[in-house]
Amino acid sequence: MRRSLSGIQPSGKLHIGNYYGAIRQYIALQEECDAFYFIADYHALTTVTDPEEMEANCHEAAAGLIALGLSPERATLFRQSDVPEVTELTWLLSVVTPVGLMERCHAYKDKVAQGMVASMGLFGYPILMAADILIYDSNVVPVGQDQKQHLEVTRDIAGSFNHQYDSEVFVLPDAHILPDVAVVPGLDGRKMSKSYGNVIEIFGDAKQTEKKIKRMKTDSTPVEEPKDPDTCNVFALFRLMAPEGEREEMARRYREGGVGYGDVKKRIAELFFENFGEARERKAELDNNPDELREIYAEGARKARAKAREVLDRARDAMGINRPL
Q: Are strands 3-8 and 34-39 parallel, antiparallel or unpaired?
A: parallel
Could you give the CA distance from residue 170 to residue 22 in angstroms, rounded to a whole number? Answer: 26
Annotation marks residue 194 as catalytic: yes
Could you give the CA distance from residue 283 to residue 14 in angstroms, rounded to a whole number? Answer: 12
Q: Residues 13, 109, 194, 266: which is the catalytic one?
A: 194
Enclosing H/E stretch for 160:
helix 148-164
Q: Residues 13, 109, 111, 211: which is the catalytic one?
A: 111
Residue 9 CB partners (closer than 8 Å, separation 6+): 39, 40, 43, 44, 61
Annotation marks residue 13 as catalytic: no
How buried is 270 (Cβ within 10 angstroms: 0-12 exposed, 13-18 middle, 19+ buried)?
A: middle
Q: Residues 13, 191, 217, 266: which is the catalytic one?
A: 191
Could you give the CA distance from residue 69 to residue 24 in angstroms, rounded to a whole number? Answer: 8
- Catalytic residues, by residue number, are 111, 191, 194
